[in-house]
Amino acid sequence: MNSRITSAAAALIIAAALTSCGKDKTSDKSSVTLEMNTTAASEITSGETSATTKAAETTTQKKTTEAAAEEKTEPATDAPATEAPTEAPTAPPTDAPTDAVVTPAAPSVNSFGADNLLSDASPILSSLGSYSGRSVSQACTSSGNDVVVYTYPSLELQCYIDGGIEYIFDIKIMGAGYSAEGGLTIGSSRSDVEAVLGTGDDISSIVCYYHDAYEVDIEYNGDTVTSIEYYAFI
**Which domains, and CATH codes, for the chain?**
2-62 (no CATH), 114-232 (3.40.33.10)
Write out pLDDT tens, residues 100-157: 554 444 445 589 999 999 999 999 999 999 999 999 999 888 889 999 999 999 999 9
Q: Residue 224 pLDDT more than 70?
A: yes
Of 165, 182, 162, which is closest to residue 225 (Cα–Cα)?
182
Measured distance CA(156)–CA(164) in Å, rounded = 21
Buried b (16+ CB within 10 A) or exposed e, 64-74: eeeeeeeeeee
Of 198, 168, 167, 156, which is closest to residue 181 (Cα–Cα)?
198
Flag the least confident range among 45-49, 63-67, 129-133, 206-210: 45-49
Q: Biggest alpha carbon distance in the chain?
A: 196
Task: Please tell me the predicted confidence (pLDDT) of residue 107.
Answer: 44
- Angstrom CA distances, 67 to 53, 72, 84, 233, stand at 21, 9, 38, 125
**Range from 15-24, 42-51, 215-224 that averages highest in pLDDT:** 215-224
Are 190 and 196 spatial neighbours (Cβ–Cβ below 8 Å)?
no
Which has more pLDDT, 147 or 3? 147
